[in-house]
Structure 1
Amino acid sequence: MLRLPEAHRDLFKKPFGTLYGNIDELLPRLEGRAVYAVGDVVTHNLLAAGVVPDIAIIDGYTMRMPCTRSPLLRARRLTVKNPPGTITGELEDAIGEIVRNPPGVIFVDGEEDLAVIPLVLAAPTGAAVLYGQPGEGVVLRLVDAPAKQEATSMLNVFVRE
């Protein structure tokens, strides 16, 4: 398991991609791409906009409060444990499995906030990864070599336990 030390938490407050005020602003950028969503609200908003993500990673919460808008997708569902502030091997394995064989939903018992990092690493070039930036909007990261390099750099501040 990888744990994000408290001292490095602020590094993850800035968007890991382009920040948009809402889903509608970025919809044109999704055309023709695999779409991967991290978070209950982002997934719900995509569905409301008529976009069914190929992969959704959700935990039933938003900003640590129960999310009553958890999406119900008709896709294979994997459930994994992932405590707050961590990236477990179980989460990484589930992401790899779903990326190889989409569509699917990964339901996280714990917290899915950091799943965007292994998701970008596992995703094929050209995929669109979206996640919520609390109080600001939605972040879109198109997967390319620089995205994978940045994700790898982010993982380097984690401590293996």
Structure 2
Amino acid sequence: MGPIETDAGRLLADVDGPLIAVGDVVTYHLLQAGRQPDVALVDERTKREAVDEEIRRTVTEDTTIEAVNPPAGISENVIEALIEGLSSDEPTTILVEGEEDLMALPAIVVAPNGASVVYGQPDEGMVHVTITDDHRADVRSLLDRFEGDTERFWTLLESVDTDASSTNG
């Protein structure tokens, strides 16, 4: 959905606005480069294996919210945590029990235009999506094909004003 970058410093040079990080290793690299994400979603795992202790300790140090999300799914609980994080005036780290892998998708839908969503591409680097209406439309089309209570899902996401959803950036 965006360019892949292996250097967090170079990636951050292109960030202008709120920053949402999805994944422990991505969050770790952004923190090491000197930028705390406005919202970070972590689950203490990478490629379905536990992250090393330094990464775990670093990315969970400022945990603000805990949420539960099943593997290969998107729960109401984690959506509510994402919305809460975006509306906070302070950086928010969401520690997910389960898996946060798919959370880049709803993050793209609810992030304001110009915000950055960064997620990991295993064995390649960090994908940087600068949010536009086109990105939002592409992700909505993809999410419409998901199974589950999509009506409730869209109701939750549409409650967010994407022009003003983040005040902490």
TM-score class normalised by the smaller sequence: 0.7 to 0.9
Residue 110 of structure 1 pairs with residue 98 of structure 2? yes
Amino acid of the structure 1 residue aligned with 2:137: Q
- Please list the CA deviations of residues 77-116 of structure 1 after superposition, one character each: whole Å capped at 9, or x if unmatched: 1111111110111111111111111421111101100000
The number of residue pairs the alignment matches comes to 144
What's the CA shift for 1:25? 2.9
Q: Distance in 1 between matches of 2:7 and 2:119?
A: 11
TM-score (norm 2): 0.80
Amino acid of the structure 2 residue aligned with 1:119: A
The residue that corresponds to 2:128 in the other structure is 140
Structure 1: runs of 5 or more not aligned: 1-15
Q: Distance in 1 between matches of 2:32 and 2:120?
A: 15
3-state SS in 2 of match to 1:160: coil
Taking the TM superposition and a 5 Å limit, the aligned residue runs for 1:17-36 are 17-30=2-15, 32-36=16-20
TM-score (norm 1): 0.84
The residue that corresponds to 1:127 in the other structure is 115
The residue that corresponds to 1:83 in the other structure is 70
What's the CA shift for 1:131? 0.7
Structure 2: runs of 5 or more not aligned: 150-169
What's the CA shift for 1:22? 2.9
3-state SS in 1 of match to 2:85: helix
What's the CA shift for 1:117? 0.7
- Please list the CA deviations of residues 104-159 of structure 1 after superposition, one character each: whole Å capped at 9, or x if unmatched: 11111011000001111111111111011000110000111011111101101200
The residue that corresponds to 1:92 in the other structure is 79
Q: Indicate the percent of aligned positions where both proteins have the same amino acid.
A: 35
CA RMSD of aligned residues (A): 1.4
What's the CA shift for 1:27? 2.0
The residue that corresponds to 1:9 in the other structure is none
Q: Distance in 2 between matches of 1:128 and 1:43?
A: 13
3-state SS in 1 of match to 2:113: coil
Which residue of 46, 55, 65 maps to 1:62? 46
- Higher normalized strand content (fraction of residues): 1
3-state SS in 1 of match to 2:14: helix
